[in-house]
Amino acid sequence: MELKIICDCGQKYKFDVEPVNGRMPMKVNCPVCNADGTGAANAILSRTFPDSALPPVATAPAPGGSLRLNRPAPVPAAPAPPPLPVTSAPGPITPLKPLNAKPNLTWYQYVWIALPLLLIAVGGAIGGACGGAACAINRTVFLKTSNPVLKYVWTGIISAAAFIAWLIVAALLIGFVHGLRAR
């Protein structure tokens, strides 16, 4: 079953566990602050598996096979299984992935994302504005697109669009300045 825990430090994390007697079979730690999350996990498990949810104890038939009317058969007291101790595993449970984790990008992905910033060199403030906007959009596309090929296709289109936007804005600005000089 999957458990989701919110640590005192604010980190949300989840992991798969097979509880034993409604408790954690081993220790679990927060992936950020390394705080012990076993108590919180046991609290969630105790709400999921309350004592009343345990299956009823089967009763044995009455001795001699006689029928008892208006009297319940005596129920033998079955000893409760001892609670399992928290074992020391090879290490703490490593969560699958924090809920709010962002993927790490490689150096060449950062280079690809920042290519529009080269417009600063040829276009000054206009190039910087177009390149910076494209760079921010490219980063968002890289973080939110799961298909690796589409990441490069979309960001390439965005970078080309930034260059075209720079050309248009620069041409309009040059046309405006030449129009003022002609007067």
**Per-residue model confidence (pLDDT) at position 63:** 54
13 vs 76 pLDDT, higher one:
13
Overall average pLDDT of the 83-87 stretch: 66
Number of domains in the chain: 2
Task: Please give the residue range of the domain that contains residue 54.
Answer: 1-100
pTM value? Answer: 0.41
Strands (E), the chain: 2-6, 12-16
Task: Verify that 92 and 114 share a domain, yes or no.
Answer: no
Distance, in Å, from the CA atom of 35 to the CA atom of 41, rounded to the nearest integer, reads: 12
Task: Verify that 70 and 123 share a domain, yes or no.
Answer: no
Indicate the range of 60-69, 138-147, 157-166, 167-176 predicted with least confidence: 60-69
Task: Verify that 151 and 93 share a domain, yes or no.
Answer: no
Asked if 94 and 31 count as a contact pair (C-beta separation under 8 A), the reply is: yes
Task: Verify that 7 and 65 share a domain, yes or no.
Answer: yes
Q: What does the angle CA 127 – CA 133 – CA 134 come to, to the nearest 5 degrees?
A: 85
pLDDT category at 149 given cuts 50, 70, 90 is very high
**CB-side neighbour CA atoms (13 Å) of 6:** 2
Reported as a single tens digit per residue, the pLDDT across 155-171 is 999 999 999 998 999 89
